[in-house]
Chains A and B, each alone.
Chain A
């Protein structure tokens, strides 16, 4: 971090942890008797408690969305370009809450946490979660913060699914839902990629059925492969092409199997390596399952418009042209269902070369719309 913080940064922030001991019933039929959630907040909650915004994170995200946790932190939170004073999610106006989801590995109770029943880490025994479970746990956090209604629930990718689910499960508690680069359910291709990622982890000999903690190892190879596959789906062909092309790391071909030759190989390995050092393998498997299981229309005769008819929120839906993980067509399904359900909705298809990753980038058109939309919200 540089010696002085920019004026539009939320500054130094400290995560807080809250313990819940009221059991949480889960979609899988099991329950969590007690759990912790770690979260950060930015901005001030106003007197009428009407300016609260919930940020929902994607697959590998966490609570640290903006600002710095310490002066030596190299990079700010993962969505710092969008959250801050004067930024699209303006902390001069909103009180922003960002948490690490249940099952995560950044402080909230997850597979690496100690199971009070056994005194050992949950590991593979941690219940498989569904997006609706996260929404219920987030509602408990809202209760604790005395937030009855969110001015907006905002998320990209898997985060967008949480925003959608919020509007269906707690219609009276969401005034606006912002659903970015998301989908109403995964396609067979999406699930297939997730399955490859899971198999990479599950078949790593160091996974030990999810109980690798006891063996003092991590299934690094599997996690690395999972991340590499994931990363391919986050970028567009064009983005990879312009970033790496067929550039070589060496000045000639080695005609062997082990050298890292192409830049793109080096990049993927680096990403996988870095990720496997900081992320929990069980959390990764769990997050991909939550993605696969997400299908809010299933409870409504597979009719998404019936599901969306529950909502009272206004919606902003955004997609990116080169996103092939959750393509614009997938966002259109959401928009069409909202239109059919006669809900208020605006939709943007932003021309962006970056693929799925675009939702994390400060693309002018996208940020202008986000800012314009959020500015209109009365608090």
Chain B
């Protein structure tokens, strides 16, 4: 399993109701269904991913996150998960608010634009950072709302959300003393557990 998913699954209680926003091919949901007895649903827009989820017997709903979650009842899920999608949303702040309306807690992962490599790239070349990990150029990137860990935490603070857990990891999803010491500089991916 993808390393970030392994960290996330550890944060999800047995038997909970889980909504996975942008569930991809259903890797996390499949694991949670089989090993943690969760009732899970994924929202996804990619046709191939949806077909894969259906063939795995997972609940998957074709739904565009940018159109909101208004169809889902308040408090209807224990945990709402969103991995690596926050930066690709049109209204990340609204989706975050919606996630915490629908779910009691949410788990969010996103790439850190404050990582030293991004800073170095921008400082030395004067151009938007491009890397193997985020290989797009500014005009074709699906990632339209990059933020740093500090930016995200400022949004949580402004929205009066409580950060329950935070883990800064490198691109292989390893955490180390250094990433926990200077997360905003050395962490490449942030994994946050947030509640209202």
A interface residue numbers (CB < 8 A to B): 316, 332, 335-336, 339-340, 342, 344-349, 351, 365, 368-369, 372-373, 375-376
Contacts and interface: CB of A to CB of B under 8 A. Distances in A.
Contacts of A345: 41, 59, 61
Interface string B39-54: 1010000010011011
Nearest to B17: A342
Interface string B70-112: 0111001000000000000000000000000000000000000
Interface of B: 17, 39, 41, 47, 50-51, 53-63, 71-73, 76
A336 B54 contact: no
Contact of B58 (A332, A339, A346, A347): A346
Contacts of A348: 50, 54, 62
Contacts of B51: 365, 368-369, 372
A43 to B, nearest CB: 21
A339 B54 contact: no
A351 B61 CA distance: 15
Given A342-B17, A349-B62, A372-B51, 15 more contacts: A336-B71, A336-B72, A344-B39, A346-B50, A346-B53, A346-B54, A346-B58, A346-B59, A346-B60, A346-B61, A347-B62, A348-B54, A351-B47, A369-B50, A376-B57
A376 B59 CA distance: 12
Nearest to A316: B54
B6 to A, nearest CB: 25
A372 B76 contact: no
Contact of A339 (B50, B53, B55, B61): B61
A365 B49 CA distance: 11
B72 A339 contact: yes
B57 A335 contact: no
B57 to A, nearest CB: 4
Contacts of A375: 55
A315 to B, nearest CB: 9
A13 B95 CA distance: 54
Nearest to A372: B55
Contacts of B56: 376
A190 B51 CA distance: 31
B61 A335 contact: yes
23 contacts: A316-B54, A335-B71, A336-B71, A336-B72, A339-B61, A339-B71, A339-B72, A339-B73, A339-B76, A345-B41, A345-B61, A346-B53, A346-B59, A346-B61, A347-B61, A347-B62, A347-B63, A348-B50, A365-B51, A368-B51, A372-B51, A373-B55, A376-B57
A332 B71 contact: yes
Contacts of A373: 54-55
B39 A342 contact: yes
A142 to B, nearest CB: 25
B23 to A, nearest CB: 11
Among B53, B71, B76, the most chain A Cβ lie within 10 Å of the Cβ of B71
A375 B55 CA distance: 7
The 5 lowest CB-CB distance pairs between A and B, nearest first, are A372-B55, A376-B57, A336-B71, A347-B61, A372-B54
Contacts of A369: 50-51, 54
A344 B59 contact: yes
Nearest to B39: A342
Contacts of B71: 332, 335-336, 339
A344 to B, nearest CB: 5
A186 to B, nearest CB: 21
A316 B55 CA distance: 11
B174 to A, nearest CB: 35
